[in-house]
Chains A and B, each alone.
Chain A
Amino acid sequence: MSVNKLTSRRWVSITAATALAVSVAMVSGASPASAAAAKGGTLYFYTNSEQFPALDPTNMYTGRDIGLFGTYLFRTLTSYKMEAGSAGTELTADLATNTGVPSNKAKTWKYTLRPGVTWEDGSAITCADLKYGFSRAFALDVFNAGPTYAISWLDIPTLADGSSAYKGPYKKTGKAAYDKAVTCSKDNRTITYNLKRSVPDFNYFASYPTTGPIKASADTGDKYDLHPMATGPYKIKKYAINDELTLVRNDKWKKSSDPMRKAYPDDIVIKLGMNEDVRDEVDMTDQIPNGINMDGLQPLNNIAYFNDPTKAKQRWNIVDPFVTYLTANNSAGHLDCLLVRKAVFFAYDNQSLIDLSGGLKYYGVMGDNIVKPNLGMDYAPTKGNIHDPNFKIGGNPEYAKTLLEQAKTACPDAYDRATNPAKGLKYYRADTATNKKSAVLVEAALKKAGFVIETVYKPAGTYNANLVEYKSQTDFLASGWAADWANASTVIPEMWGNGCCNYTKNEKTPEYAPFIAKVNKALSELDRKKQATMWHELSQYGMDQYWYIRTVFGKDQATWGSKIGGMTEWKPFSQAIYNDLYIKQ
């Protein structure tokens, strides 16, 4: 949802980006962990969400959860350094002894386990556990929310229908091929991944919980989500949906095997399903001084909180790694006409929509790309769209009308659908208060330009579950995305190509085939600079097609209680460096 980033963050596979060389505007100072950091106390988090999108590492794909549970519960072969500034975007070894040894043009990656690493039951973590954990991502019938890189990269034959020959550990199909692609050394300590093509950034992927170990004997399939086994300094004591998640110290975790994690609090309680108004009140009146708001405040409360000078040390306002966007349904019978899509873009009243959600100061600015500037070399300003002289941030209905006039002759069917009162465009949205408000603005702006548009409200609770169905019925969908690591390979193919989350329905348009050919070429390009140039071209290409109507480069605010110490931004996730958090005594 373009206006409610928090909601979108909850459901889309929004993940972390290695934010490189970006000016991160920290409005207020959050002091780095000082010498005063002390062990003990209970650390609270609270959220409006009733449950986590996934606790099972295989399905975990939201940036916040990777940062949070990657710190407290699950260890992975590599990890982002738990440090402030750009050091935080660098990798370090976690379960492994180093960040990986590539060979064979980065088609083979080798990791050796650190000695003394154990499960919460005291047994040693072995190569077999890593191999089993990695294999679960192939069981798409059980896990469908996690990243799919493992499937597209491992050297396993592809079937005629495009799926992998290996179907995961629960079915025996293709096991031999998997055993060949992922091998363990005799001492069960070293794992080798054999890939189809060169993947120079495999080590970044190795920091994702989905690549971490799972003990086969403890695996309960889709029920594992309720109580996954811990490898980090804490373990799950209680997980009750719409109530709370309680983490207590994992006494089998040894500091000697994990120099990085500090584990200050004695236990961690995450309150789930807290009413939004109650949650905001808790923040504003400091009712839980040792607590952190996981969602951010509602827009109006946010403004009030950020205007309060006494809260100066309990907040930050940063550029986050997310791009929120409005997808057009590019398939036949919908917005399959470039002129109509362009007309929508120019008619949109972006100013009012941004103001409604917190203004330029707190919500974000108009984007000209799906790659965000914090991706460093892969971002380049595009031409056209918001740089078009006809673009007005408050909407330009006159220009939109002239575009529609051209569409009348160029693509009469699409024109008729967009302007005929008996037909009209449809925008499926979750039935939430904020969406109702922004629908007023969207409809007013589009009607001014001559469109016929209807907002269709769908029950909020089941909206996300039905997205796959909705994407072919609606003309627009709103969502958000952030790069998985500092390479547009985790953005452009995922958003517009054959990756996980392409909602544009552009597969059958004539522009798609040349696009995907170029994407595949860029993916296998080993020269990073050349690859970046190719990404620039591809971003320009997609933006010119208006596959996305508009993009917004978002901002993010965090607020916390007065007794929380060590709040510093962890750049890859735009979250706290959870490792540094402690309770002020």
Chain B
Amino acid sequence: MPKSVKDAALIEPAKIEGEEVTLRTPKQIALARFKRNKVGPYSLYVSLFFILAAFFAPVITHLWGLSSTDIYTDGLDEFALPTGGFGGISWQHPFGLEPGAGRDVFSMLLYGSRISFTVALVTSVASIGIGMIVGIAGGFFRGRIDALIGRYSDFLFAFPSFFMIIALSYPMVDRVEKTGIARGNNARLLVLIIFFVFFGWPGFARLIRAQSMSLRERDFIMAAQAQGASNWRIITKEMLPNLWPTAIVFLSLSLPGYLSAEAVFSFLGVGIQPPASTFGLVLSDAVKYWKVDPSYLFIPSAMLIIIVLALNLLGDAVRDALDTKSE
């Protein structure tokens, strides 16, 4: 199996009697490996389904004749609990009604997953961006820069980030609001993303640093250096193409991580606040109602589990497909 484009080019196309073997690019190879994976394609479909559903939430709820902010009091009894079985599930309200306030759970979860996906995506991309730059800087230039970055990320690794996010979120949101960048939930979202990115990039940077260190010693980089290529050219043209697979694998694995982290923090009351809804908020609310309305707890939990599981399996499949060493 060829290890890179350049290796592949050295191999003579094999001639087998009767048919011609075409030379495959790494992309095609990866794609074939992905397709060969038993769960890969399915997890991709499920993930895509939820991501698209979140993206088109306004359209879907509109077509269904629902709104995520409307109060459907008709479906509630005198104590504001949903009437009808399974938390008031009906054709009109496929996931039932929210006990207490009477919002439609289906549209709450659709809109909630928009927020969750946004946090997960923005955080992952930003962490990867920073991690990529810092990792290459450390791995390629080594020396003092590498030592500095290394000690700094050691410091961040050792930091009790979980507690710090909980403790600092109130004052941070306050500060962000005072600067006027964002207000209310936007400010809370911004603070949460900043915290996640702040503590998230060193892991990826380490990975990239190690890879760039080994890439730096490879023949084709030496050849480029011998021909007088600039550092910039070496990094962008020679190294980056070999680092992308790592980034993609990391992205697909960190998405579900941040998705559930967002749920945990909003469950604990940090992050998004009502009337917005996210998985964490719905779950923390549902815990109070589980005795009288178990489906209100079951449906969001099941949905969160399916999304996280699908993204995790997808991440595994992508890693298997791209990472040649894993075979």
Contacts and interface: CB of A to CB of B under 8 A. Distances in A.
Interface residues of B, number: 26
Contacts, number: 72
Contacts of B80: 352, 355-356, 359
A436 B79 contact: no
B275 A459 contact: no
Nearest to B184: A454
Nearest to A360: B78
A351 B292 contact: no
Contact of B71 (A299, A303, A349, A439): A349
Say what secondary structure dominates the interface of chain A.
helix
Contacts of B77: 355
B275 A433 contact: no
A361 interface: yes
A411 B115 CA distance: 38
A394 interface: yes
A444 B69 contact: yes
Contacts of A299: 79
Interface in A428-463: 431, 433, 436-437, 439-441, 443-445, 447, 454-457, 459
Contacts of B284: 433
Given A359-B78, A444-B71, A437 B291 contact: no
A358 interface: yes
B275 A439 contact: yes
A300 interface: yes
Interface in B159-195: 170, 183-184
B289 interface: yes
A300 B275 contact: no
A440 B103 contact: yes
Contacts of B69: 443-444, 447
B100 A454 contact: no
Nearest to A459: B170
Interface of A: 298-300, 303-304, 349, 351-352, 355-356, 358-361, 394, 431, 433, 436-437, 439-441, 443-445, 447, 454-457, 459
B73 A394 contact: yes
Contacts of B153: none
Interface of B: 69-71, 73, 76-80, 100-103, 170, 183-184, 269, 273-275, 284-285, 288-289, 291-292
Nearest to A433: B288
Contacts of A304: 291-292
B73 A300 contact: no
8 contacts: A352-B71, A352-B73, A352-B80, A356-B100, A360-B78, A437-B274, A444-B101, A457-B273
Say what secondary structure dominates the interface of chain B.
loop
Contacts of B285: 433, 436-437
Contact of A300 (B103, B170, B184, B291): B291
Given A355-B76, A355-B79, A300 B70 contact: no
Nearest to B289: A300
Given A303-B79, A437-B101, A455-B273, 7 more contacts: A349-B71, A352-B71, A356-B101, A359-B78, A433-B285, A447-B69, A456-B184
A289 to B, nearest CB: 23
Given A437-B285, A441-B101, A359 B274 contact: no
Given A444-B70, A454-B183, A359 B79 contact: yes
B183 A441 contact: no
A158 to B, nearest CB: 41
A436 B102 contact: no
Contacts of A358: 79
B294 to A, nearest CB: 13
A357 to B, nearest CB: 8
A351 B73 contact: yes
B284 to A, nearest CB: 8
Contacts of B273: 436, 455, 457
Contacts of A443: 69, 275
Nearest first, the 5 A-B pairs at minimum CB distance are A355-B80, A440-B275, A440-B101, A359-B78, A436-B274
Nearest to A445: B71
Contact of B269 (A352, A360, A431, A444): A431
Given A300-B291, A356-B100, A394-B73, A439 B274 contact: yes
Contacts of A437: 100-101, 274, 285
